[in-house]
Each structure stands twice: as C-alpha cells, then as structure tokens.
Structure 1
C-alpha cells in the first residue's frame, strides 16, 4: 500500500524539471534511476519525496533550474517530442540543452505562432488552467465574408459540433479582404482546435490561424522557427496576467 504522500517515480523526475514524462519513463527503463540504492526500472514505482533517497545518473536528485522558452512555431510542424510518421516537430528546432522542456498547451500542425515551453510543471498547469484566465490571442483568416450578426454570435458564445461551448473574451473584425474575413480572437481557455471549431459553428472555415499573443507576450522580434528564453520579469508578468493569482 502506498503512503498518502507517495508519487510515482516518473512524476517525481518530471516535476523536478529534468525531463518530460516521456523522456523520464525512458530514463527509468534504461536503469538510470536508483531509489534507496536500488536500480528501479518501473516508472510506476511509488516513492516518498523527502524520505526516499533518489539518484539520477548516480547523483542525488535535485530540482533542475527552471527554464522558460518562447518559440515561434511554423505551420506544418507538430507540437510533440516525436512522431511515428517522421513529421517535423518543434524539438527539431531546439538545441540539445532545451530538449527536456515540454510544450505549455498545444498548437495543431496547421497553426503557427507563439508556443511556450518549460520544465516548470506548476507554471504550465497555471497557464493552461482555464480558471487562471491567461489570454491567448489569434489572427484568423476565415473563408467568406462573416456578417456582424455572426461575429456578435461568436462574441456571445457559441455551441460547437461536439456539444461544448466556446466563450471567447473578444472577437473583432480586422478587415474584409476580397472573399475573406480577417478576425482577432481572444480566448482564456484552451479547448482542442477551439478557434477552428467555433468558426465552423457559424458556417465558415479557418484558412489561416496564427497565435499572436500569450498574456503580455507577443511575436515581436521573433522569426518563424526561432525562439528565445524568457527573463524573470516576463515570467512574473505572465503569472500576473491572468484573472487568478495562483503562483
């Protein structure tokens, strides 16, 4: 029987910021972890942080330095550590020293724009929790000319095909260009393919989608496929930007 304070070994390692859950499991299976002097190859092994002595590559397990990275994801790249089909992932753009970070939320393959990566699980949970109200802003190119009435419907909240609701903070027309409508959409939640599905709910399709902002962070100064570390002031500003102060 596990103690109330016990957690699985893979979770201990990922919480301390040394690797993603996937990489953590691989390290454990490879025999790189010891618990109380014994090599453990079971990622689901229960350990008691602060009581059990855990070693990683022969050294006592200590929290890794927290790292926060802002990346301009290109279209056609998947937000995953690996892909069985051999498609390019965001990790193909990162240096070796950043391969132990994980994405904060997801952008689908056909969406470009801002993506946060970190090894700080509490920070990631805060940013992705809808209750934190950290806004994400998108530039949308939609098929056809969307009427003011349908934009008002989107703004008020719209039920999508799966039965769930999209409740954006803002939907505004930027311009009509030819046969297309360009919109700015601001969300504080992160449902799967939400922008695409909410536009489909009013009878149109998304032709181009770019995430331009996360809280106070923007694409300014970033080239497609490039990124940069976040400074302490930027991380603090992100934590303050939500409607719930949780960190």
Structure 2
C-alpha cells in the first residue's frame, strides 16, 4: 500500500501560554485563533515588510507573553497580549499615544494655570486623545517633555524606583578660567536644603571666557534640582534645556514642536521601565 502523502499546508497555530509553573494556561488566556497573524502585527508596528517580519520571527527575536515564537502564521490578540522584539515591547493598543514636546521657555508644565500663563493645553490639543504631561520642567526651562495617555508608562517614568536618566544642557556666565572642582563637585554630590544631590555624569561642553556650557545627567526629579545644584556652587543658570529622557532624545525638535514617538523608540522607552 502506497504511503499516504501529507499535505504541505500547515494551518496557522496560536501561541499557547503557560503559567509560572509551566502548565498550559486556560484556553481563555491563550491567543484567539481568529486573531491577527504575528508578522502582520510586526509589519504594522514598523518592522518592515511581512517577509522581513517573518525573518525576525525565525531568528527567535520575538516573544508573545514571555514565550519566544519561532513558527510562522501564529495568531495573536493585539488588544490582550504583550509582544516584545529584541526585548523591546510593542505598543499595540491603538488608543495609546506618547508624544515628545520641546517645551518653550515661559510655559507652565500644567494643563491650566490659575495665573493665566501659557500652559501645555495648546500642544496637547494637537492630538485627538486627551494627553497629560509626564513630569515637569520649570517655567524658565525648555526642552524635552513627554505627553501621553498611557497611565502606567507615565507612572513608571516619574517613579523614583525606576531611575530614568535625564540629560540637561546648562549655560551660565563665567569669566576667567573654568573652575576645576565644579564638575567633580556635581558628580560627587552637593548639599541642598532638601538633602544631597548628585549628577551621574557631568562634562564641560564649551567655555569662551565669558560663559560656560555644561552637560549633566541625573535621575532625580526634585523641583528645580539642576538649577539648585549649580546655585550651590555659586553659578546661576541663564539657560537650561533638557535634551534626553531615558532613550528619547530632543534632537532637532524646535521649541513648541511635537512629534509622536516611533514604535521602536517607544518600545525602547517601555523596556527601560520594565513594561
């Protein structure tokens, strides 16, 4: 009797999740067979053509709910399942939006101001979702500020336990030689009225004998902390710009401009805070 030939067609399989003990999860917790193909989800998230996304899957770079996926045709439910590529989470909820803003000087980091000063409303209203600011920059400070409607992301970015680094460019008047001990003092820590503060990194960017520009990186978020650190060393800042939050860069975004974070960029930010 001739051997029966098997069909070359293999129907798409769904990811079968497992609990913390390695047992198969209940069917209700697994991906739906009527969900979207994983390579289609990846393509929509900006990882190239579907063929390119199939290659990413074959290389073992994709996980769904913590389980590495190697098979093609797997279907998932983007609304309920968590997908990571190279350790970076994809934001698959189409209702979530995160935006970078270059906050101009003399804008209050709030959605309204009882004194009638310019606030963040005009920038948030550019988007259909109701966005809120993540953290604050003082009235005189400009630079990178994030707006989002992702509450969990906002919470983690502002919670001190996640130690998200922020970088600032600081300008101040300085005649004569650059003080040799300033950068060391910032790195080793200075005393403020609400406790010591220390920069993770500090470097001289420029000094022309009239003013100096110093870049500092720190993960603390106390009110006006950068200005107060320099003031403790006798230097009042004339300009302060935040240029980075975690992996997100201000780059060439002009004051008052906004841009939505790219999917890969957002994934890197989410991975930084454990999402």
TM-score (norm 2): 0.62
2:163 aligned with 1:133, yes or no? yes
Q: 1-side partners of 2:215 and 2:260: how far apart?
A: 26
Q: Deviations over 1:174-213 (max 9, x none)?
A: 1112322210010112111000000011111111000011
Decide which of 203, 207, 229 is 1:176's aligned counterpart.
Answer: 207
Match of 1:147 in 2: 179
The 3-state SS of whatever aligns with 2:204 is: strand
Contact 1:102 1:117 (8 Å CA) reproduced:
yes
**Gapped regions of structure 1 (runs ≥ 5):** 1-62
Match of 1:113 in 2: 143
Match of 1:35 in 2: none
The 3-state SS of whatever aligns with 1:148 is: coil
Q: 2-side partners of 1:166 and 1:109: how far apart?
A: 21
- Quote the offset at 1:246 in angstroms: 2.8
Q: 1-side partners of 2:126 and 2:202: how far apart?
A: 39
* Runs of at least 4 residues off by over 3 Å: 96-99
2:257 aligned with 1:226, yes or no? yes
Larger radius of gyration: 2
Q: 2-side partners of 1:138 and 1:98: how far apart?
A: 30
Contact 2:101 2:146 (8 Å CA) reproduced:
yes
Match of 1:83 in 2: 113
Contact 2:165 2:219 (8 Å CA) reproduced:
yes
Q: Deviations over 1:53-81 (max 9, x none)?
A: xxxxxxxxxx9821101101111111111
Match of 1:50 in 2: none
Q: 2-side partners of 1:130 and 1:79: how far apart?
A: 19
Match of 2:153 in 1: 123
Equivalenced residues, count: 181
Q: How does 1:1-247 map onto structure 2 within 5 Å?
A: 65-95=95-125, 97-98=127-128, 100-144=130-174, 146-160=178-192, 162-241=193-272, 245-247=273-275
The 3-state SS of whatever aligns with 1:196 is: helix
- Quote the offset at 1:110 in angstroms: 0.4
Q: 2-side partners of 1:71 and 1:121: how far apart?
A: 18
Match of 2:7 in 1: none
- Quote the offset at 1:144 in angstroms: 2.4
Tell me: CA distance 1:127–1:205, structure 2 relative to 1, closer, same or farther (3 Å): same
The 3-state SS of whatever aligns with 2:164 is: coil
TM-score (norm 1): 0.68
- Quote the offset at 1:167 in angstroms: 1.8
